[in-house]
Amino acid sequence: MKQKSKQKTAKSRLQLLHQYYNYTGFYTFVWQAIKKALPYIIVAIIAIYTLNHFFNIETALIRLTEILPSYGVLSFFFVSETLLGLIPPEIFIAWAGKMYSPWFYLSILAVLSYGGGLVSYWMGRSITKMPSVHNYLEVKMEKQLKNSKKWGGFLIVVGALLPLPFSIACIAAGIIKFPFKNVVVYGSLRLLRFAIYGLIIFNVL
């Protein structure tokens, strides 16, 4: 009986959560955001696929980590994590696994990725200071911005934990002026992601 009661409680909570998201327009917001971003995502995927067809990007990046000194690799990684973060961090985690102190270098990578995301946030805030962007956001996107601020934490958590560009999530948070202190807190989950990936990748290498 107790187990059934717990299942009903969990189910009712999920139903309430679903009703809340449905009522506040969360699902509509996400769908509209995906539709608007889809053309750019498709173009980016085609461009990367085409480039990779003629020039093996992953091999080149692995080769780069072999040629550059450790501070060069770390600097390159920080720039990547700050500017859109399109290069998979797994390549750099694999590089850290081959160093004499894997967890030390992994820790540096995690901090750099986290720091890069915070810098990206302020890049997003800077974008909103451009007159044309400011007017567009304040006038045409006012309703969307209000909804975005409600779920800004969700945006940061997804970017921090899932294999999606953390930098882009942080730039978006900056554009919608999501509180920086919340970005600092939610974004710290990025450190957890690196720890989990390190455990997986280091055991494979």
- Give the residue extent of every domain in the chain: 1-55, 65-204
Backbone angles phi, psi at 150, to 5 degrees: -65, -35
From CA 94, how far away is CA 61, in angstroms rounded?
11
**Residue 12 in this model has a pLDDT that exceeds 80:** no
pTM of the prediction?
0.69
Under 8 Å between Cβ of 114 and 81:
no
* Token digits of residue 88: 């998979």
For tokens 């919340």, what's the residue? 182
Backbone angles phi, psi at 177, to 5 degrees: 60, 40
- Predicted confidence band of residue 118 (pLDDT cuts 50, 70, 90): very high
pLDDT per residue as tens digits for the range 140-184? 555 555 666 666 777 788 888 887 788 888 888 887 788 899 999
- What pLDDT shows up at residue 65? 72
pLDDT per residue as tens digits for the range 41-68? 566 567 656 655 666 656 766 677 778 7
